[in-house]
Amino acid sequence: MGTLGLLVTGIGLVLFVWVISAPIRRKNKSLGIEGTVAEGEIVNLKEWLHEGHRRCQVEYTYTVPDPETGKLKTLKGKSNCVPIIFDRLEIDSPIKIRYLPQKPEFSRPLFDD
């Protein structure tokens, strides 16, 4: 395959990834605009090395009203974070969670509050 073929293939791959990731980008944007904040609790902290870099993840639970029934339900979430934030987190500690009221399973922790 020549240089032009590689270029066309590369552009096609980038466009494919962009289209596939569109729903995730929209939800992330919605969390900043429409998200509601709930109190959560850190239930697990994980860290590992990947290609020589330290990776960190926080797992949490939070309780929110079900959008269909209005009854409270407890959900689980997880999110990667940078080591400087990870180092100050503790299991069983409270953490604020931003979630979408219409789809409460989509959430993220608020590390900066």
> For the segment 15-74, what is each residue's pLDDT rounded down to a tens digit?
555 455 445 444 455 566 678 999 999 999 999 999 999 999 999 999 999 888 989 999
pLDDT at 22: 44
CA angle 85, 88, 93 (to 5 degrees): 110
Compute the average pLDDT of residues 4-25: 56
> Does residue 8 lie within any of the structural domains?
no
> Does residue 48 lie within any of the structural domains?
yes
> Does residue 1 lie within any of the structural domains?
no
97 pLDDT higher than 60: yes
pLDDT at 24: 46
- Domain residues for 48? 34-109
Task: Identify the CATH number of the domain in which residue 76 sits.
Answer: 2.40.50
Q: How many domains does the chain have?
A: 1
pLDDT at 73: 95
Q: CA 113: distance to chain centroid?
A: 16
Nearest alpha-carbon partner for 88 in 49, 42, 38: 42
pLDDT at 32: 60
Compute the average pLDDT of residues 77-89: 95
